[in-house]
Amino acid sequence: MADYLVIVESPAKAKTIERYLGKKYKVKASMGHVRDLPKSQLGVDTEHDFEPRYITIRGKGPVLKELKTAAKKAKKVYLAADPDREGEAIAWHLAHSLDLDLSSDCRVVFNEITKDAIKDSFKHPRMINMDLVDAQQARRILDRLVGYKISPILWKKVKKGLSAGRVQSVALRLIIDRENEINEFKPEEYWTIDGTFLKGKENFEASFFGLNGKKHPLKTKEDVKEILSKLKGSKFSVEKVTKKERKRNPAVPFTTSTLQQEAARKLNFRAKKTMMIAQQLYEGIDLGKEGTVGLITYMRTDSTRISNTAIEEVSAFIDQTYGKNFLNTTKRTAKKNENAQDAHEAIRPTSTLRKPADVKHVLSRDQLRLYKLIWERFVASQMAPAVLDTMSVDLDHNGLTFRANGSKVKFPGFMKVYVEGKDDQLEEKDKMLPDLKEGDTVLSKDIEPEQHFTQPPPRYTEARLVKTLEELGIGRPSTYAPTLDTIQKRGYVALDNKRFTPTELGEIVLNLIIEFFPEIINVEFTAKMEKELDSVEEGTIEWVRIIDRFYQDFAKRVEKAEAEMQEVEIEPEYAGVDCEECGHPMVYKMGRYGKFMACSNFPDCRNTKPIVKDIGVKCPSCHEGNIVERKSKKRRIFYGCDRFPECEFVSWDKPIERKCPKCENMLVEKKLKKGVQVQCVNCDYKEEQQK
């Protein structure tokens, strides 16, 4: 029998660690938490210092029994749950359930699952850190009080299955506030004048800047006419040439939130999916000869710190692969986020030498894409800045100033490996200008005025919402993905074109919370609360005090809400068609996979139908049915025949009415990165891309 028992959360992790530790160690998994507050009641004694009442989680009895048996046989038990608050609490609950001595050195933590990190961590076991445990308990109890006190009121007054929470209610508020901003937005007219100019045979572009050297905005068509009236002929003189060298620094390595944002921008991953795949990469992948190895460090972190060993390894790799001049020579200190818990490193590969191409054969497509993103970002973060040559030129004609800007990459530096994505997908490209000198004459070729209108602020994508929550100091890395998931499951928001839009239900619930529990959705209040909870972790404040301060007011508000909140009747959204089974009108409902149609006579009639949209194209397969737009379970749009299952025609690309001029087959609109292209499904016929 093994001398030592090691308990971790997941079986994948257990398998990896057991290999590294050798025969004397037995590694078992607790499968996450073994104890928690009961689901059926509050489980917090509000009269006696908010004492939590923990019970064994349903279904965890056999796991716990197995761990108790193994613990009795072992000389020593080590608790190796994840290296964060949640992991510390799991270790503490396990110590209680297994009757371990809380003052013994039974806790082992590691930031990555590699042989060296594991072996090293077992040389330095420590006591369970009660400050960390208290910080987790405080959060858990606070969330329980908010959720279990407000949710029943919402169930009673609005409808079953609703909830409220510290982070989810603030996220909902942000989405609704943004929607109101969009609705109240008044577009303002403005104009631009763009020109194409010639220097010898070289074309370049410049835009109207101002009059007599001063910036001059163009608000109306009259303003434009006034400017154009000053144009006499096509000669412009080069008034001013400014050349500068600009450095661009690489982005720092990933934290949980920046990884979720970048994976959304570059890989189109939802926050939940990013975390799931990162977990797999962290817990270990079977690499064949090497066995199972953790490929990345722990993925719940808000620190950008990197260990010296990792910096040495990546620096040697950059030197060998790209050359010395690509190495970052200036020591950049990572900007410390005041909300960050700096116990961990940033998310990075456990070894830079494990290039994405080397592990391609053992990873799934999505695992590879995420690993490649983490690897490239980390390597780039330790590389030299890119150097860009920029040039700005002012052209003058009769007091009118047109300005041209150009830049070119002089030295790519980190850009050789990775460039951070932007929310608006505008990538930096070389934009060269001819060799212009002051006093040169250039000719205008085309001068085009164009009308524009200011745009409302954009709706939140998942990435943008995570970024905003983090900037406001609301929630912590581990909470973002489940929060976004909850507000969708509750039907408070819907995703339209990957952007959040609030539903009527979301607005009703938020208005009630604003009226009766304003502090819950107060951004400053919630951020302050987060900071106080962090100070529990630092051991500077007792958790009971924080909760008590909050609960005094909160309990009064709950009483008031129970007494005064009016019942809300939610008007169903009619679909405009009748149920073919019983004749009652169909209504729209929100389900797991988005909107669907259901009979209003439920539960007597349980007829449901997917929402389909006719696109006005005959089915090319059976020639009888019509093509309709449908949604897959993963919310992806596809096109199929409305006679399904008789006709099984399906297409990811949108069919169009016109036939191919070459072969008379079906034409489809294919979505490309830069627009839409009409092409034939049978032959090589393609039309020009539509932007």
Tell me which residues are annotated as active site. 298
Gyration radius (Cα) of the chain, Å: 31
Cα separation, 475 vs 553, whole angstroms: 22
Separation in Å, CA 32 to CA 66, 124, 234, 419: 15, 23, 74, 37
In the numeric block, which tokens belong to residue 43? Answer: 């489980």
Buried b (16+ CB within 10 A) or exposed e, 286-312: ebeeeebbbbbbbbbbbbbbbeeebbe
Place of tokens 């410049």: 206
Cα separation, 631 vs 591, whole angstroms: 13
Cα separation, 163 vs 43, whole angstroms: 17
In the numeric block, which tokens belong to residue 643? Answer: 């006679």
User: Which is nearest to 179 in space by CA: 529, 585, 650, 507?
Assistant: 507
Amino acid at 368: L
211 contacts: CB under 8 Å, gap ≥ 6: 227, 399, 400, 401
Cα separation, 625 vs 331, whole angstroms: 66
User: Which is nearest to 469 in space by CA: 282, 279, 271?
Assistant: 271
> Which backbone phi and psi does 575 adopt, to 5 degrees?
-90, -10
DSSP of 302-337 = ------HHHHHHHHHHHHHHT-GGGB--S-PPPPPP
Q: CA-based angle 340:342:343, to the nearest 5?
A: 135
